[in-house]
Structure 1
Amino acid sequence: MLKKIIFTLLITINVSYSQNTIGTTLISEGVADGYTLFSAFTETYLINNCGEIINQWSSEFPPGNAVHLLENGNILRAGRTESSDIVFGGQGGVIELFDWEGNLTWQYFYDNSTMRQHHDVFPMPNGNVLILAVTKITNSEALQLGRNPSLLNEDILYNEQIIEVTPIGEDSAEIVWKWNIMDHVIQDFDDEKDNFGDIALHPEKLNINFLNGGDGGANWLHFNSINYNPILDQIIISSRNLSEFYIIDHSTTTEEAATGEGGIYNKGGDFLYRWGNPQAYNQGDESDRQLYGQHSPHFIKPGLLDENKILLFNNGRGRLPLFSEACIVNPETDSPGVYSYDTGSAYGPISPDYTYGSSTGALNFYSGILSSAQRLPNGNTLICEGINGRFFEITTTEEVVWEYINPINTSNGNIISQGTNPSTYSNTSFRAQKYHIDYPAFTNRDLTPSAPIELNSNITACKNLSVSNYETLITKVYPNPTSGSLKIISELTIDKIDVYNVIGKKIYTTTSNTIDLYNQPNGIYFLQIYSDTNIISKKVAKN
């Protein structure tokens, strides 16, 4: 009976939403319940699946570019200053913290004539902040590092840098860790300069003369994202221009991070793993290339479908025909965090585990810049097609169950009216992140929605479908916390339940509605409940 009711509602929704051109343009059964966060011009919005505003934060700066919702309800946001010293796509310069009520509680500028934050920041579990930045090096310094002079087309070269800072007061920070790419380069151009060696034998180093068809400009690397894995204590970095992502050790000291020794993995700040373009380290050619200007690689969190694999948005920039993909990569490992490598070969795997996207047909979409992909607790994937300001959610069977079109003109902040063709204004979006309704930031908050962002909105049909109620009807888990035994109540048939511990290890699988944790240690566990085409994740505690 439940499915019949929802099917009837879906017919209403799909008909009504055929008239919507912006905001929520599609919603159907199977969409994940939660709130989506994104920045547009000087505003950051948290919206529900109908596009209604749950919360909104205002800054004096447009994005620069990332924004994160923290567990305490604050947002961590990068903003773009008006600096003209270091200018390229994605430049930022200021990092801000706002509380849930919209008050600016911390503002830190990393922006002067020799350095500038850009693209991404990332909140650390200990309250620190990782900041992605560039610093300038002179041409003479670049030449001493082994750069081919014919590949220096500007007066300077950019060194990509990651710093970790501890916020202090309202406008200061202490730098507690630092990593620079120029400490980890190699070259085979000039044996009288630094870093000379056999590139093919040193995949842990970056070839300072590999440009991937680029022009040798200062912004030769264009790192565009950072992400952190707290279990492995590793950082993932993405280079758009070289079409690779890299994993480095965060457990090092700053001094060790400038070398090839030290840290948990005893490789200092050298690459622990790299993937996407083997020709960058002389282990393949263009035919072996997998990535094309990718964005936002990150480890899928424990307890989620494809946990611990790497999910990214492969933009397809420079590939013909032009099309984008969401890709899942499963690095080959000898042990957790230790990546398999055979000398004289490329890092595996040869190709992604999974891709969504196609050069033609219903799966075709394209964004040459920006963009992201995110695995959700119910097994769905949220994709941000950044250049078009389009967020859409697909199920494990690749059905699109939600679509939202950014209704903000990101060039001037103007709010657009429903019915407008989105191709007539700029609505670019760097990234979109969806947070489940159980996310700690929402505890004891007033989540009463206000009107959608767009003018002349129409969400009547959407309000007829309560995904929250639907998910509640599917499963109830009690008691939570538990001392040992859990019961699952469902109005639909449960096919199986997978139980994971906090580090993402599957403990067992059952088809029973009773979960026995008596012999497991106290702590946090994740349940993946499979019912028909639905996959629902629940977090439980044993104490």
Structure 2
Amino acid sequence: MAKNIKKRGSDYFAGKHFKNSLKLLRYFCCFIAVVSISYLLFDFSYCKPNLPAYSSLGSFPVIDKNKINQGYTLLTPYKMNQYGKGSIYLVDLYGKPVHRWQTNYTPFYSILKKNGNILVAIVTPGNDSNFPAGGRTGLLQELDWNSNVVWEYKNDNLHHDIEVLPNGNAAALIWEPVPKNIAKDVKGGVPNTEFKERVWSDAIIEINKSGDIIWTWHAYEHLDPKTDILGPLTPRAEWTHANSLMYINKDPFYNEAAYLISLREINTVALIKKSNSRIIWRSPKYMLAYQHDATLLPNGNILVFDNNIFREPNPRPLQGSRVVEIEPIENKIVWRFDGGEAGMEKARFKADITSGAQRLQNGNTIIINGPAGHLFEITPKKQLVWDFINPFGYNSTGPWPNTAVFKARRYGVNEINWPEKLNPPLPALSVMCQFIKRYA
């Protein structure tokens, strides 16, 4: 009997212990649920709006706030094959918009003016098969801070880049057919790939606010079809395919007004003296391959995003892209970024089309992988201090969102006369937000 009493007592205490354990487990589960819900509410109500962008590393974009060049980035998301309304975003260093412009059609690229207006290249509805290559726009507009149209210029042959001129006018690139007597002598390219039985080239035009063309430079007048040769894998639809344009107040050779232009199909960046339209400098043969976004730096050197495809001669089948700084007097590369020292690192940094680079005021460089919408900032010693994926993706036909951009630019806090007070480009973040962004 004593044994039975002892057993019943043990069973009683065991059952009570089990019930207490269940109660503690329920309390613990409730606690976890409350914490999870609180985390989600905090994440979506506060952190998501303030930290909309991620880096390619999965954390938040700002890696070293002490070395980053503070400013706002002008992002022009590109909606491929869509002609509806679009948006242009001025974002802080975490990707939060501090201002937004709206356009009636898809924007291709935009530039901030000193007064806070933007100059926008816009893709108008049309059949792309009517044009010799990708990158067409068709409409140039200046928009004020509230997205009102200040002036516009329409031309179906507008494509790729635009430029703001010191006198308030604009410069742009247009396609034009090469005269047949010149086109027949253009060497290279894939045979029988002309566009509508013509070879096309480019012109630079200057437009005033009345929509008048007041200056023109024709590429075919200043190139040699026998020496400016297309590569063996390049279609003959275009001879030049200009994709970037920069106006220069004082060129590094004559201290005169000039244009810097990238001619992708002939692997050439050229400096054009405006007063006589002559080419006064061009990148050496084999230095670049299908490049984009050539800019003149304050030190007189030239920064270029070298897409590095169809390279000639090509001793290695494995090629990545790179950014190079060219010293134009001696024609040598004085700085480069190509992803790293190892072959796999070089191969990972790759963009066949679009893309760009910008040298910042503190000496850092922003590099834009256009198709991926991946922007990152590195120091002169190539330390990564900012890493950013365009958060404004659009629907796509593949498994990844379309985050593509043509290129982008960052603007310093004091570089623009902002029409209204903006939030700081590097806002203070709570410890919780930083924890969520880094580890969640």
TM-score (norm 1): 0.60
Distance 1:352 1:430 in 2: 25
Q: CA deviation at 1:83?
A: 2.9
Question: Which residue does 1:231 correspond to in 2?
Answer: 250
Q: Please point out which of 380, 386, 406 is paired with 2:390.
A: 406
Aligned with 1:160 (options 172, 197, 202): 202
Aligned equivalents of 2:214, 2:328: Cα separation in 1: 30
Aligned ranges 1:245-256 → 2 under 5 Å? 245-250=269-274, 252=275
Which of 70, 83, 93 is matched with 1:33 structurally? 70
Distance 1:459-1:382 versus aligned 2 partners, 3 A rule: farther
The answer to whether 1:119 aligns with 2:160 is yes
Query: Percent identity at matched positions?
Result: 27
- The whole-number CA distance in structure 1 between the counterparts of 2:52 and 2:395 is 27
Deviation per residue, 1:62-93 (Å, 9 max, x gap):
23x33100000000010112233325211111
Q: Which amino acid aligns with 1:74?
A: N
The aligned amino acid for 2:183 is A
1:71 to 107, 111, 114: 114
In the TM superposition, residue 240 of structure 1 has moved relative to its aligned partner by 1.4
Q: Which amino acid aligns with 2:349?
A: F
Question: Aligned to 1:372, which of 356, 367, 372?
Answer: 356
Cα offset, 1:136, TM superposition: 2.5
Counterpart in 2 of 1:293?
Answer: 290
The one-letter code sitting in structure 2 at the alignment partner of 1:49 is L
CA distance in structure 2 between the aligned counterparts of 1:54 and 1:235, rounded to whole angstroms: 32
Q: Distance in 2 between matches of 1:118 and 1:427?
A: 20
Distance 2:417 2:435 in 1: 25
**Following TM superposition, by how much is the alpha carbon of 1:449 offset from its aligned partner in structure 2, in angstroms?**
7.5
Are positions 1:59 and 2:103 aligned together? yes
Q: Is the 8 A contact 2:234 2:265 kept in 1?
A: no
Deviation of 1:308 after TM superposition, in Å, equals 1.9
The alpha-carbon distance between structure 1 residues 156 and 392, as it changes in their structure 2 partners (threshold 3 A), is same
2:125 aligned to 48, 70, 82, which one?
A: 82
**Richer in strand (by share):** 1
The CA deviation at 1:382 is 0.7
Q: For the Cα contact (< 8 Å) 1:235–1:247, is it kept in 2?
A: yes
Q: CA deviation at 1:25?
A: 3.6
Which residue identity is paired with 2:283?
W
**Corresponding residue of 1:445:** 420
Matched, 1:353 2:334: yes
Q: Aligned pair in 2 of structure 1 residues 36, 19: CA closer, same or farther (>3 Å)? A: closer
Q: What are the Cα deviations for residues 329-375 of structure 1, in whole angstroms up to 9, with x where unaligned?
A: 0111xxxxxxxxxxxxxxx42x3111011463657511111111111
Find the aligned partners of 1:187 and 1:367 in 2 and give their Cα distance. 28
Cα 1:242–1:410 shift into 2, 3 Å: farther
Deviation, 1:424, is 1.5
Contact 1:27 1:462 in 2 (8 A): no
Deviation at 1:322, TM superposition (A): 2.5
Residue 23 of structure 1 and its aligned partner are, at CA, apart by 9.2
Contact 1:50 1:462 in 2 (8 A): no
Report matched runs for 1:384-399 at 5 Å.
Answer: 384-399=368-383
Give the helix-richer structure, 1 or 2: 2
CA distance in 2, matches of 1:431, 1:380: 17
Deviation at residue 272 of structure 1 after TM alignment: 0.7
Post-superposition offset of 1:39: 0.4
Matches within 5 A, 1:113-512: 116-137=157-178, 139=180, 142-143=183-184, 146-147=185-186, 153-154=193-194, 155-168=197-210, 173-187=211-225, 207=228, 210-232=229-251, 233-250=257-274, 252=275, 268-276=276-284, 278=285, 289-301=286-298, 307-319=299-311, 320-332=317-329, 348-349=330-331, 351-357=332-338, 358=340, 360=343, 364-410=348-394, 424-442=400-418, 445-448=420-423, 460-461=433-434
The answer on whether the counterparts of 2:61 and 2:93 sit within 8 Å (CA) in structure 1 is no
CA distance in 2, matches of 1:220, 1:60: 32
Following the alignment from structure 1 to structure 2, what is the Cα–Cα distance between the partners of residues 223 and 17?
34
Question: Displacement of 1:24 after TM fit?
Answer: 4.5
3-state SS in 2 of match to 1:27: coil
Task: Give the direction of change, closer, same or farther, for the CA distance of 1:47–1:23 in structure 2 (3 Å limit).
Answer: farther
Structure 1 residues 183 and 34: alpha-carbon distance in aligned structure 2, compared to 1, 3 A threshold: same
Deviations for 1:78-132, whole angstroms, at most 9, x for unmatched residues? 0112233325211111101111122222221111xxxx01000100011111111
2:90 maps to 1:109: no
Asked if the contact 1:293–1:315 (Cα under 8 Å) also holds between the matched residues in 2, the reply is yes
- Of structures 1 and 2, the one with the larger relative CO (CA 8 A, separation 6+) is 2
Cα-Cα RMSD = 3.2
Residue 73 of structure 2 aligns to which amino acid in structure 1?
T
Higher alpha-carbon Rg:
2
Q: Deviations over 1:272-308 (max 9, x none)?
A: 11104x2xxxxxxxxxx1212111111113xxxxx22
Supply the AA of the counterpart residue of 2:193: N
| Equivalent residues, number | 357
- Contact kept in structure 1, 2:55 and 2:389, CA below 8 Å: no
* SS of structure 2 residue aligned to 1:120: strand
CA distance 1:411–1:317, shift in 2 (3 Å) = farther
C-alpha distance 28-463 of structure 1, shift in aligned 2 (>3 A): farther
Question: Are 2:233 and 2:310, in contact at CA under 8 Å, matched by a contact in 1?
Answer: no
Residues 362/321 of structure 1: CA separation in 2 closer, same or farther (3 Å cut): closer
3-state SS of 1:185 partner: coil
Q: Deviations over 1:223-252 (max 9, x none)?
A: 1111111123111110112111011111x2
Letter paired with 2:279: F
Greater CA drift, 17-26 or 354-363: 17-26
Q: Say if 1:186 and 1:290 are closer, same or farther in 2 by CA, change over 3 A.
A: closer
Contact residue 23 and residue 404 of structure 1 kept, 8 A: no
Structure 1 residues 429 and 313 mapped into 2: Cα distance closer, same or farther (>3 Å)?
same
The letter for the 2-side match of 1:177 is W
Q: For residues 91 and 18 of structure 1, what CA distance do their matches in structure 2 show?
A: 29
C-alpha distance 394-142 of structure 1, shift in aligned 2 (>3 A) = same
Note the C-alpha offset of 1:215.
4.3
**SS at structure 2 position matched to 1:241:** helix
Query: 8 Å contact 1:53–1:449 — kept in the other structure?
Result: no
